[in-house]
C-alpha cells in the first residue's frame, strides 16, 4: 500500500468515526485498525492527531459543499429556484443513515475552546457556505441580497441543528417555507425601491 492509498484509507476511517462518535472519543489505535494500516504508517501520514482532524475537516468541507452545489445545479430550473433547492438537498441529507448534524459545529463544540485551528476551519466552512448562498441570491432581483443570504444561512444552520438534536425530519421543509417567505419579501422590497437608498 502506497502513501496516497494509506492516507485515503485513514481519512475514510476518520470521517466515519469522528462524525459518528466525536473526535475526542476516537483514539489513533482505533483509527489504525479501522483503516487497516500500521501505526507507523498512520503517523507517517499524520504525525499528530490534530493533523488528521484538520485533514478530515478540510476534506469534509470540500465534499459537503461540492455535493450541495451539484444538487442545486441539477435540480433547480432557474435562479429563483436555486436558493430553495439548498433546502431540498438538506432534506435528503437529513434522511441519510448516520446523519449527525454539522461536522464543523460538532468539532467546534468539542475542540473549539482548545484548538484555534478547529475554530478557524469551522468559521471558514460557514463563510464558504455564506459565500455560496450569497452568490445564489445575487442573481435575484431582491433588496439587500447580502442580508438575505445571511438570513438564509441562519435558516440552514437552524434546520441542521433541529434535524440533528431534535430528530425533526421536517426541519428542512419548514426552513424552506421560511426561506421562500424571506425571498418573496426581499423581492417585493426591491420592486418598491425599499432598501436601495435607505428607504
Write down the pLDDT at residue 158. 97
Question: What cell does 197 get?
Answer: 437608498
Write down the pLDDT at residue 167. 87
Write down the pLDDT at residue 45. 97
Cell 455564506 sits on residue: 130
Write down the pLDDT at residue 197. 42
The DSSP code for 81 is: G
Write down the pLDDT at residue 191. 80
Write down the pLDDT at residue 39. 93
Tens digit of pLDDT for each residue in 40-96? 999 999 999 999 999 999 999 999 999 999 999 999 999 999 999 999 999 999 999
Q: Specify the length of the chain in residues.
A: 199
Write down the pLDDT at residue 198. 43
Measured from the Cβ of residue 17, the count of other Cβ atoms closer than 10 Å reads: 19
Write down the pLDDT at residue 194. 54
Collect all residues with Cβ–Cβ distance below 8 Å to 172 and sequence separation of at least 6: 87, 88, 90, 91, 94, 159, 163
Q: Are 155 and 86 in contact (CB under 8 A)?
A: no
Task: Report whether pLDDT(196) > 50.
Answer: no
What is the rounded CA–CA span in Å between residue 152 and residue 144? 13
Q: Are 56 and 14 in contact (CB under 8 A)?
A: yes
Tens digit of pLDDT for each residue in 27-41? 999 999 999 999 999
Q: Are 158 and 90 in contact (CB under 8 A)?
A: no
| C-alpha separations of 81 from 21, 35, 144, 178, 186 in Å | 35, 41, 18, 14, 15
Tens digit of pLDDT for each residue in 146-183? 999 999 999 999 999 999 999 887 999 999 999 999 99
Measured from the Cβ of residue 109, the count of other Cβ atoms closer than 10 Å reads: 14
Write down the pLDDT at residue 151. 98
Tens digit of pLDDT for each residue in 103-162? 999 999 999 989 999 999 999 999 999 999 999 999 999 989 999 999 999 999 999 999
Between 139 and 196, the more confident residue is 139
Amino acid at each position: 500500500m502506497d502513501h496516497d492509498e494509506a492516507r485515503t484509507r485513514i481519512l475514510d476511517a476518520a470521517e466515519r468515526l469522528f462524525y459518528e462518535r466525536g473526535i475526542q472519543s476516537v483514539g489513533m489505535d482505533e483509527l489504525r485498525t479501522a483503516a487497516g494500516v500500521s501505526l507507523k504508517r498512520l503517523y507517517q501520514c499524520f504525525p499528530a492527531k490534530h493533523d488528521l482532524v484538520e485533514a478530515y475537516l478540510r476534506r469534509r468541507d470540500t465534499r459537503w459543499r461540492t455535493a450541495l452545489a451539484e444538487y442545486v445545479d441539477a435540480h433547480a430550473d432557474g435562479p429563483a429556484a436555486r436558493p430553495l433547492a439548498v433546502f431540498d438537498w438538506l432534506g435528503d441529507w437529513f434522511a441519510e443513515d448516520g446523519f449527525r448534524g454539522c461536522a464543523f459545529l460538532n468539532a467546534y463544540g468539542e475542540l473549539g475552546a482548545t484548538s484555534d485551528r478547529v475554530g478557524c476551519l469551522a468559521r471558514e466552512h460557514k463563510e464558504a457556505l455564506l459565500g455560496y448562498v450569497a452568490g445564489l441570491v445575487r442573481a435575484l432581483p431582491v433588496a439587500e441580497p447580502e442580508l438575505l443570504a445571511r438570513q438564509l444561512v441562519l435558516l440552514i444552520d437552524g434546520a441542521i441543528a433541529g434535524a440533528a438534536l431534535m430528530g425533526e425530519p421536517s426541519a428542512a421543509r419548514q426552513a424552506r417555507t421560511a426561506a421562500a417567505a424571506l425571498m418573496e419579501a426581499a423581492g417585493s422590497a426591491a420592486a418598491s425601491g425599499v432598501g436601495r437608498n435607505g428607504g
